[in-house]
Amino acid sequence: MRKVRFAVVGVRNFAAQHIKRIKVLVNEGLADLAGVVVRNQQIEDPLFEQLKQEGVRIYSSLDELLVAGQGLVDIITLPTSIHTHSELAAKCMKAGFNVVLEKPPVPTVQQVDELIRVEQETKRFCSLGFQFIHSNSIRQLKNLIVQGKLGSIIEISCKGYWPRDKQYYQRNPWAGRVIKDGYVLLDGPMHNALAHFLNNMLYLSSSQPQDSGKLKTVRAELYRANPYIQSDDTSCLLGETVDGTKIYFYVTHCSQNRVDPYMEIVGTKGKAIWKFNETTIVQLDDGEEIKFGNGGIDPWVEVMRVAAQVHLGELEKPYSSLENSRSFVVAINGAYLSSEKIRPIPEEYVSEHPTESRFVVKDIDNLLDQAFAQRKLLSELDLPWTASTREVDVEDLTVFNPFQEI
Ligand SMILES: NC(=O)c1ccc[n+]([C@@H]2O[C@H](COP(=O)([O-])OP(=O)(O)OC[C@H]3O[C@@H](n4cnc5c(N)ncnc54)[C@H](OP(=O)(O)O)[C@@H]3O)[C@@H](O)[C@H]2O)c1
């Protein structure tokens, strides 16, 4: 069987994870690591040294790969910063390569529409790195929803609190930024670290096998406790799809404790609970209970495997596509339009963690738990530092431009 030839842009941070997952396919005999792009070849990086020793071809820029990689590379993976996604993915497809683009897809709805256009025009594909869309548990849940087992989906809710310290925000020049070098970026818990879980909900809100639910309205609140970042770090969102499914999302990087993402799905015929370790319990109103987990499947490897299968024509489409991620981009743009600004949380409600280099919002774990349990936004809990936001209609949203007056 023909091996699919991958090239990865970068070796540091998440690029190292791409290389690790591609190597699983290499060991299975399905793929080759046909190249990596390392623009600063003076770096002292053990992975870079190892790849050189293994004889992996090193390119000094993406532009060099796009020319010299013709006929040697099939799929380029882009684990690059969020504000580069749109430009780099388009460039790769226009040069004739298929793409695995890391999540979040692109910051604005017009960019996702443009990439869909480029995908159609070039007849290449752009598969997204939303690994949970490739996971056993989310795919099984989707199947049950497509089969109508849960009935019509009334609401899907998720909370996740992942503390992030100073080092997280200092790992690269774009973390914690809303705009970088004039590009819209919108880093933050909803749009980056916990993005998967909003995307999962949107995906599960549609009963069509490949699709995500289309959003009609969004209301969101974006807050910031960290004094040295631009973006939000504590946020909540209420979305409603055109089919009437409500989506509730509660996230923070400033909690006392780590609370892994937890999702509840309520349908007219039953409900389901999904945990971050993929333990899933579906309880149907007729008494049937269905349980499953990760099924021994590593969703990060599946991101690469599915891309290889689409390249070989074994699968018609990527599981996580530009089309079914569009709703996620609309949700994020809608969140910014609704919130209008990122509100700093006053100092008296924020403390420094006693042993870790990070900030904690006073009582936020309990407050978000309460908001989640009552399906309320934080401003509805009567807190002194919150502000109620407007509901925005996003059904026909085609442009998000934060530089333009609202
Ligand atoms: N799926 C997941 O669960 C998950 C987890 C973490 C991150 N991510 C996503 O992965 C992406 C990258 O995140 P990160 O934190 O790893 O970013 P990062 O710290 O900026 O690292 C990105 C890597 O890409 C390289 N790079 C970026 N632009 C390049 C260009 N034009 N040409 C050549 N190399 C380039 C960088 O090279 P240099 O060394 O030269 O800077 C670096 O090696 C983001 O979209 C993020 O959201 C996904």
Choose the final residue of a domain: 130, 165, 192.
130
pLDDT tens-digit series, residues 199-255:
999 999 999 999 999 999 999 999 999 999 999 999 999 999 999 999 999 999 999
Nearest atom in ligand 1 to 14's CA: 16
- What domain count does the chain have? 2
22 plus 152 within the same structural domain: no
136 plus 42 within the same structural domain: no
What is the number of alpha carbons within 13 Å of residue 34 lying toward its C-beta? 20
With residue 179 as reference, give the H or E element that holds it.
strand 179-180
Question: Distance of CA 120 to CAs 98, 113, 115, 116, 399, Å?
Answer: 12, 11, 9, 6, 20
Beta strands in 88-168 (DSSP E): 98-101, 126-128, 153-161
pLDDT tens-digit series, residues 96-131:
999 999 999 999 999 999 999 999 999 999 999 999
108 plus 205 within the same structural domain: no
**Nearest Cα residue to 328 out of 123, 158, 121:** 158
67 plus 55 within the same structural domain: yes
Residue 177: the pLDDT is: 97
pTM as predicted = 0.97
Q: Are 203 and 215 in contact (CB under 8 A)?
A: no
DSSP structure class, residue 346:
P
Residue 136: pLDDT band with limits 50, 70, 90: very high
361 located within any domain: yes
DSSP 55-98: T--EESSHHHHHHHTTTT-SEEEE---GGGHHHHHHHHHHTT-E
66 located within any domain: yes
113 plus 175 within the same structural domain: no
401 located within any domain: no
196 plus 325 within the same structural domain: yes
With residue 117 as reference, give the H or E element that holds it.
helix 109-122
Q: Are 266 and 248 in contact (CB under 8 A)?
A: no
Ligand 1 pocket by Cβ (under 6 Å): 9-15, 37, 39-40, 62, 79-82, 84, 102-103, 129, 131, 171-172, 192
Residue 197 has pLDDT above 60, yes or no: yes
**Nearest Cα residue to 362 out of 353, 351, 372:** 351
399 located within any domain: no
How do beta strands 259-267 and 153-161 pair?
antiparallel
Beta strands in 289-361 (DSSP E): 289-292, 343-344, 350-352, 359-361
Length of the chain equals 406
405 located within any domain: no
Choose the final residue of a domain: 103, 130, 157.
130
332 plus 342 within the same structural domain: yes
Phi and psi, residue 314, nearest 5°: -80, -25
Choose the final residue of a domain: 75, 97, 130.
130
Residue 38 has pLDDT above 60, yes or no: yes
Q: Are 86 and 62 in contact (CB under 8 A)?
A: no
Residue 405: pLDDT band with limits 50, 70, 90: low
Indicate which CATH number applies to the domain containing 112.
3.40.50.720
Amino acid at site 205: S
Residue 402: the pLDDT is: 83
Nearest atom in ligand 1 to 88's CA: 31
Output the residue whose Cα is nearest ligand 1's atom 35.
Answer: 10
126 plus 137 within the same structural domain: no
Chain-centroid distance, C-alpha 238: 17
Ligand 1 centroid to Cα of residue 13, in Å, is 6
189 plus 81 within the same structural domain: no
How do beta strands 4-9 and 75-78 pair?
parallel
Indicate which CATH number applies to the domain containing 328.
3.30.360.10
Range of the domain at 45: 4-130
201 plus 231 within the same structural domain: yes
Ligand 1 centroid to Cα of residue 82, in Å, is 8
> If 0-12 CB within 10 Å is exposed, 13-18 middle and 19+ buried, where does residue 401 land?
exposed
103 plus 137 within the same structural domain: no
98 plus 172 within the same structural domain: no
